[in-house]
Structure 1
Amino acid sequence: MPNIKSAKKRVLVSEARNARNKANRSALKTAIKKFEAAAVEGNRTEAEGAYKVAVKSIDKAAAKGLLHKNNAAHKKSALTLKLNNIG
């Protein structure tokens, strides 16, 4: 455990950020998995709804610094290709 006041604060801040990042990361993964499931099923309308939610989650994660912007763009591109291949 740190002895210096600023180091103690850093521990508290990093724990709070870690918890926030974990929550956002799990929401992101859930949204992507729901889209993947709908895409595998071949249900176009359900997949389109899940796609919108997944893209919004990816954009939020990129804005919060959870994902790099290029990584977010790559994920969105892959999701779009899957959506277009459902036909």
Structure 2
Amino acid sequence: MANTPSAKKAARKIARRTLINKTRRSRVRTFLRKVEEAILSGDHEAARAAFKVAEPELARAAAKGVIHKNTASRKISRLSSRVKAVGAA
């Protein structure tokens, strides 16, 4: 357990930041799930709409440091190609 006042404050800050990051990560997962469901349903318009909303959410999470920049980029790229494939099929 933290003993010094600065360590106690740091522990409080970490707890607060962890809660915020958990919320952001959960939010990103929700948007990704919506895109996945739209892709699996085969509805191109729904998939495009869900992807259009999910993309900035992923970018925001990367900007805030919740996920790595390359991870966000990779997920956006792969989702984009899958959404395009739904339209082609």
**TM-score when normalising by structure 2:** 0.94
Mapped pair 1:4 → 2:24: no
> Could you list the runs of 5+ residues in structure 1 that have no partner in the other structure?
none
2:58 matched to 1:37?
no
Matched ranges for 1:1-87 at <5 A: 1-87=1-87
RMSD of Structure 2 on Structure 1 (CA): 0.8
Cα-to-partner distance string for 1:13-57 (whole Å, 9 max, x where unaligned): 000000000000000000000000000001111111110111111
Report the Cα distance in structure 1 between the residues aligned to 2:68 and 2:2, rounded to whole angstroms: 31
- The sequence identity of aligned pairs, in percent, is 39
> d(CA) in 2 for partners of 1:47 and 1:84?
9
Instruction: Count matched residues.
Output: 87
Could you tell me how far apart the structure 1 residues matched to 2:27 and 2:8 are?
A: 29
Kindly state the Cα deviation for residue 69 of structure 1 after the two structures are TM-superposed: 1.1
SS in 1 for 2:75: helix
In 2: Cα distance, 1:24 partner to 1:36 partner: 18
- Where structure 2 has 5 or more consecutive residues not aligned to the other structure, the ranges are none
**SS of the residue 1:74 aligns to:** helix
